[in-house]
Amino acid sequence: MIDGLLRRIAEFHRSRPVVPEFPMVAPVLEVLDNALCPAGIEPRFLPVVRHLDAVEPSGDAAIDAVLEELLRLAPVLPWRQTVGYLDVLSRDYLDNYGYVQLVGPNAIVEHPAVRVGIGLWGPHLHYPAHQHEAEELYHVLAGEPSFSGCDGAILATRPGDAVHHPPWQVHSQDFGATPTVLLYCWTGAVGPDAILVQAG
């Protein structure tokens, strides 16, 4: 059922001007190309899914192919949230955030060393500083999020932009006026989830 979505994500990565854009994309593509997708998936709805109604095509064919398939499948996908955030982040944040883990430990396609998924955030949310051992590559598919790294620099992004985080880099995001859709991949220590970093 998600075969087409995984194929379009692989095609998106191969559409970038430099392939692999980052070395970690090579093993991700290997996994995407060889993924064995289950026939059936147990859907799990989250309130954030409503924001997909306001997602606009980007004009980039490879991005829009992924978005089109995401929108088609959204009602039957298992939307989830990071368990460690549930008792910490606000009700407003939790009502406007969620992701689908397509590949990874305990994901739709089980894999011990690679995570691939798509996250969705409503307008004007602030994702507090967090970190994880895994190496991470984000691609903006929709929205205009700003990313902050540990050096305090703020990176404004738009659809098609890539943001790379080495292991344990502290990062935070501020989401723009329209819903944000981020494609992510993790490699390395992909088992542990992200954890929030306390200020001060």
List contacts with Fe ion (CB under 5 A): 136
Long-range CB contacts (within 8 A, 24+) of 153-162: 159/58, 159/60, 159/63, 160/58, 160/60, 160/63, 162/16, 162/21, 162/22, 162/137, 162/138
Q: How far is the CB of 131 from Fe ion (least distance, A)?
A: 7
Shortest Cβ 90–Fe ion spacing (Å): 19
CA distance 103 to 115: 5
Between 49 and 129, name the residue whose CB sits nearer to Fe ion. Answer: 129
Q: Whole-number minimum distance, CB 103 to Fe ion, in Å?
A: 16
Q: Compare residues 69 and 136 and give the one whose CB is closer to Fe ion.
A: 136
- Between 69 and 85, whose beta carbon lies closer to Fe ion? 85
Q: How far is the CB of 194 from Fe ion (least distance, A)?
A: 5
CA atoms within 13 A of residue 158's CA, in its CB half-sphere = 5
Q: Which residue is nearest to Fe ion (CB)?
A: 136
Residue with smaller CB distance to Fe ion, 4 or 149: 149
- Least distance (Å) between residue 36 CB and Fe ion: 27
| CB of 64 or CB of 136, closer to Fe ion | 136
> Radius of gyration (Cα) for the chain, nearest Å?
16
Q: How deeply is 169 buried, as exposed, middle or buried, from its count of CB atoms within 10 A (0-12, 13-18, 19+)? A: middle
